[in-house]
Chain A
Amino acid sequence: MFQNKTKLKSILQFVFVFLLVCFALFVTYYGQEVRRYNTTILAFNYSYGFISRGLLGTLYLGLDALIPKDIINYVDAANITFIATNVIMGIFFFLALYILLKTKEKYLNGAQNILLFFAIFFVPMYYSLRNMGRPDIYMLFLTFLGLILLIWGKMEWLIIPFSIFNVMIHQGYVFLFYNIFMYPLIYKIFQTTGKKQKKYIAILATSFLSVSVLFLYFNFFSHISGQETYDSIYAMAAQLGNGGEVYETLLTHEILGIDPWDQEWPQHIYNFIELPIYCLIMSPFIVLGVRLFRNIITAAETKVDKIKYALLPLCSATILPCYILKIDFGRWIFAGLSYFALVVLVLYALHDEIVTEQVEKLIADVQARYAYAPLLLVYAATTIPLHDIHINEIMRSISEWLDYYYLHIIA
């Protein structure tokens, strides 16, 4: 692996720049606060039964029992979240390094560009006010570990428990991040034959079935706890929240099973306004993405290959139900971005010639043709950090402005 000195030098130079940018992103967007949505979830645990979103709280309680210090308070919850976020960032850097080491030297430029593009969204997302401590980052943690195994090609069966744990963290995983495992597994099924192929079919089928069953259970059968459980979780959430703040909507939805649709309707309106405008703002990237996948499918020679590559953009459609039913569009957009960035990076590491060559061609074309190409990364950075209900700060400004002057939904 280290025989090629020029490759190693190039990777090390990139790592320096990459860490510098990530540090600047951290310094700029670190909010030094964990908000009530993300502290309340730590009060959910399995002492109340096998409830949805209970895994993180159970682990937190376990940690409380393990260490001599009482950590059921906001400051400790926030600092433990900060430490956990840093650890997960560390795993992300390891994954990035591993992908670069596995990538062919001539394709390093493309992989580095994608990594940087992903980091621009990923790092500020989970250090900024709205999303620090979100269950999403813990799901991404297990996803990163699973991807390392998929690239390594060993112990890939661990993807099954990783997927199960992720649904136990948050049942929305099925729509948000499961596709990051799903496509590489489908890809490997296409690429292999015989026993190996059967192995990947078994991993995909088992993980898919388990997450589906768990999703159905958590979504339809676990909201049976009564007022007593609600009061108990509320009391603990108040201890963990900054200034005793609790995210009541989460409690009433997950514990009492009250549908938040009516309460969330104005926010749905905001989302519907913001999405087309956001797509317009991000249209340079959308155009490039569409061009890339069109080129990839065209470059594939056989019908089977064409299907294999057509499935790549299609698997991102698992996120669609979230757009229709739920309100956190900022998170859904990040999930979509993560899917494309991580899956293409995995294909780089797995030496897929068609995808890597097309990405390289696209990047080279953009850099050669457009003098404003350096602006693309900066332009992407104007849209960060992604929020939750509002997609980002720009979208918040626009939708609030429209609401104030024309729509009068909330204002």
Chain B
Amino acid sequence: MSDSSTKKNFIRFLPALAAFALVCFIRHFKFTMSTYNTTLLALNYDYGFIPRGFVGTLFQFANETLGIVEWNYLGVFNFSGLFTVMFYVLLFVFYKLCLDRCPEESKRNLKHLLVFLSIFAFPMYTTSVNYGCLDLYLNIVLVLSLILLVLGKAEWLILPLGIIGMCINHDFIFTHAMLIGVLLIYKWMNRQGKTQIKYTVIFAVFLISCITLFSHFESYNYENPKEIASEIKVSAKALSETGKSYGKTYLEEEILGKDLSLSEERLEQNEDNVQDLPVFFVLFSPYLIMLFYLFLRMFTDTTNTYTKRLSYLLLLFGSVCILPMLFTDVYYGRYMFQLVLYYIASFIVLISLGENNVSNHLNYIKTDIKKLTPLTFVWFLYPFLLTPFRAVAISASIHDFAEVIFTELTFFIQP
């Protein structure tokens, strides 16, 4: 292919993804925001250095100081819209940066990985259940950190970003920080001298600040929980779509400290989780096999140094950090999204950092897949049918299928 056509093709790639993003947005966006997500914006640091108070404080700042949003549903809706757009813009900045930095011979693989990531990421925060949720803000922090890691400049900024992530939602330590941490360790293991020391310091401070903040938020006790809860309730109602509703469960559990683990709602959600998860793993098993096969190839490749092989192993098992969330909370749709994002984004970053080894092994995998399945493009289509991921239910189709398998036992229409 000539240079000009390669360049043309390269120029066409991001607009093609942007068109796909736009279509995904129009398809899934329902002009509505859930009460749970509006309630979280009613939390702010007026009540102390409380957990999940950062975004609410930011909203308060935009409302009181900047005066760009109103203190009502339209205000939270627009505020969330602004950050949703920011997330997608940052994602494209990340894509562009990766494409710029990636070696020419790995570019095709990188583009396929970017397409694959987009299939999961584009519809994620446009659905009514996830529009404006805290994970959106956490992923903004994550994408910013990835941009810094790919750039290899001002990487110390990961530290304040990590702190902001913890202030947004302290679950960050289990769901998002692992990717940043693993990539920092990867860089530390594969560098020498001063640079290695730099990554050691960044990783250590990042880890310590995350753990410290996690301990603070997890053990946080509200001084006047009842009073604060009733104040937040009023604010949350004002921010809700109807002006009357609020996230009752959140206030009761997180502020009033009630144990709702045996409530009817929570038990139902747990049951949904237990049903959805095995179905998810079965439906996505071809990808799990591909993933393990890829890691196996990379790990057993004797041309790699011992340190490199160890860093691949770390990358494979870094995702176990998410396990505590699976045992303690119910938002499996979001966790599975993070799990998918963890692996795809880490490969994207490694290839962008010039890791030809990953790209070479990816080529072998692709050749093997081509031998086994005639239409390789199907492997992009298939996960799209099982998205967008939701919150408690992993996705509507996975949840419906799990219902049929575990509860209804039939596809026939019941009286």
**Which residues of A come within 8 Å of B, CB atoms?**
10, 13-14, 16-17, 20-21, 24-25, 27-28, 30, 32-34, 75, 78-79, 82, 108-109, 112-113, 116, 120, 281, 368-379, 381-383, 393-394, 397-398
Contacts and interface: CB of A to CB of B under 8 A. Distances in A.
Contacts of B262: none
Contacts of B401: 27
Interface in B10-27: 12-13, 16-17, 19-20, 23-24, 26-27
A382 B25 CA distance: 10
B101 to A, nearest CB: 16
A327 to B, nearest CB: 22
A132 B112 CA distance: 35
A372 B375 contact: no
Given A17-B378, A377-B377, 18 more contacts: A17-B375, A20-B382, A21-B378, A24-B283, A27-B385, A30-B411, A33-B413, A75-B415, A82-B411, A108-B374, A370-B12, A371-B107, A374-B115, A377-B378, A381-B381, A394-B26, A394-B27, A397-B27
Q: Which 3 A-B pairs have the closest CB atoms?
A: A371-B111, A28-B397, A374-B380
Given A33-B413, A378-B119, A372 B111 contact: yes
A369 B9 contact: yes
B64 interface: no
Nearest to A400: B31
Given A116-B375, A398-B26, A79 B412 contact: yes
Contact of B27 (A79, A116, A382): A382
A28 B374 contact: no
Contact of A375 (B283, B375, B380, B397): B380
B23 A394 contact: yes
Contacts of A372: 12-13, 16-17, 111, 115
A21 to B, nearest CB: 6
B27 to A, nearest CB: 5
Contact of B1 (A78, A281, A369): A369
Main secondary structure of the interface of B (DSSP, over half): helix
Nearest to B385: A24
B23 A27 contact: no
B413 A13 contact: no
B189 interface: no
A372 B383 CA distance: 16
B75 to A, nearest CB: 20
A379 B414 CA distance: 34
Interface in B336-381: 372-378, 380-381
Contacts of B115: 371-372, 374-375, 378
Given A32-B411, A82-B412, A372-B17, A24 B374 contact: no
B310 to A, nearest CB: 32
B5 interface: yes
Contacts of A376: 377
29 contacts: A10-B374, A13-B374, A17-B373, A17-B375, A21-B381, A24-B382, A33-B413, A75-B415, A78-B413, A108-B374, A112-B374, A116-B375, A116-B378, A281-B23, A369-B1, A370-B9, A371-B112, A371-B115, A372-B13, A373-B377, A374-B115, A375-B20, A375-B118, A377-B381, A378-B115, A378-B381, A382-B23, A383-B23, A393-B27
